[in-house]
Structure 1
Amino acid sequence: MYFVKTPYLLKKIYSGLIWEVHNNHNQVFLTFDDGPTPGITEEVLTILGKNNAKATFFCTGKNVEKNPVLYQHILQEGHAVGNHSFLHQNGWRINDADYVQDIKRCCNLIDSNLFRPPYGKITFSQIEKLKFDFKIVMWSVLSADFDDTITPQQCLKNSIDQIKSGSIIVFHDSEKAKKNMLYALPRFLEYCHAKNLIPSSLHSLSAVSI
């Protein structure tokens, strides 16, 4: 089960996490999880470049370790990066010490104070252990590109129906999401352009000290 639009109650319960970034510039914040993935992340970078759009890539340490050149390509294109843990483990199914250790391990490869919990699952005690070192970034709009039971057209609809200035939207540069994401992404960017929304990275957020 997942929510395309993050419920208000969930944002209130986890009020210390970042769900959206209010601004006066019509910015929406485009994020990609689980990469870098050869053959997919390159396509994403090409689409973003053609549309003069910036994004934040929440990468896993294991994929950065496997694909260091591709990771550097993300940085060279001017995008932001964030920590998505090393092994992509579910915070609800792992003890706090191992969870934090896995995130710290990822820090050896990804220099960022932005962290997104894998699967969006994190406990209150884990938040307490991380909040002084990281800005924990969630989302307000989920494209659900990873869901192979929906069509690419539905993925696009998920992406644009709830988007507004300040929204943080999630796509995935992964094999599982490839079909839906590569259909939806360029059309999502076209929609943003038509609505004068500016797809942006979270660079400014990561630059602010905690």
Structure 2
Amino acid sequence: MPGPVRRLLPGCLWEMPATTNTLYLTFDDGPIPDETPFVLDQLARYDAKGTFFCVGENLVRHADIARQTLAAGHRLANHTHRHISGWSHSRPEFLADVARCQQELNELLPAPEARPLLRPPFGRITPPLAAALAATHQVVMWDVLTCDYDRAFPAAQCLSTAIKYTKPGSIIVFHDSLKASRNLRYVLPRYLAHFAARGFRFEAL
């Protein structure tokens, strides 16, 4: 993400401290039965932990998969209830949608988190909205976007670009969604193998 955008959103988390060879894999838009179990299987092969930014409507439909994700040691986080944009919805509407998703998450978590994580869909958020959300959530962005959701983006290029820009402390975005399926299923196993072979660990945020 360009520097000027980061400066407009200073309270957002873009990357973690680069103190160790640790990477932070994140998965947006699930849980769904078609893709989330595949992601869980791939992560388990490397004892990797990830953070799953869940759409509230999918939590309602597939609570069993969300529970499997938690049981495997991963973290669930907020991606709004209806996957709405912070650019095209009013602040009250967006905040209400976040709260509704958080309610669904809290019913699944062992205990409510003091400051839960939120990723705005599409990364679309305004500085005033980010400031309003800071009272209740840590807004998480990224420094590596795999573009797995772009069906026009060749899978091999998706992988090479993700590898090129990854560094210690990177927050990497994948999607456990039908739209991303082709690229996700190609990129994720190879990405994990590449960095595991180089001594990297994968942790949840």
Fold agreement, TM-score > 0.5: yes
Counterpart selection for 2:183 from 180, 185, 193: 180
Residue pairs, 1:179-198, within 5 angstroms: 179-198=182-201
User: 1:80 maps to which residue?
Assistant: 75
User: 2:110 maps to which residue?
Assistant: none
The superposition leaves residues 168-200 of structure 1 with CA deviations (integer Å, 9 ceiling, x where unpaired) of 000000000001011000100111112222111
Structure 2 unaligned residues grouped into runs of 5+? 107-112
Contact 1:33–1:170 (CA under 8 A) maintained in structure 2: yes
2: CA distance, partners of 1:153 / 1:170: 16
1:24 Cα offset (Å): 1.9
User: 1:64 maps to which residue?
Assistant: 59
Residue pairs, 1:126-137, within 5 angstroms: 126-137=129-140
2: CA distance, partners of 1:114 / 1:163: 22
Structure 1 unaligned residues grouped into runs of 5+? 1-5, 203-210
Counterpart selection for 2:47 from 52, 73, 77: 52
Question: Cα RMSD over matched residues?
Answer: 1.0
Counterpart selection for 2:144 from 141, 146, 150: 141
The superposition leaves residues 141-180 of structure 1 with CA deviations (integer Å, 9 ceiling, x where unpaired) of 0000000101110111121110010100000000000010
Give the letter aligned to residue 133 of structure 2.
L
1: CA distance, partners of 2:46 / 2:139: 28
Contact 1:144–1:158 (CA under 8 A) maintained in structure 2: no
Describe the shift of the 1:9–1:194 C-alpha distance in structure 2 as closer, same or farther (beyond 3 A). Answer: farther
1: CA distance, partners of 2:27 / 2:198: 22
% identical aligned pairs:
38
- Aligned residue for 1:104, secondary structure, equals helix
TM-score w.r.t. length of structure 2: 0.93
Residue pairs, 1:33-48, within 5 angstroms: 33-48=28-43
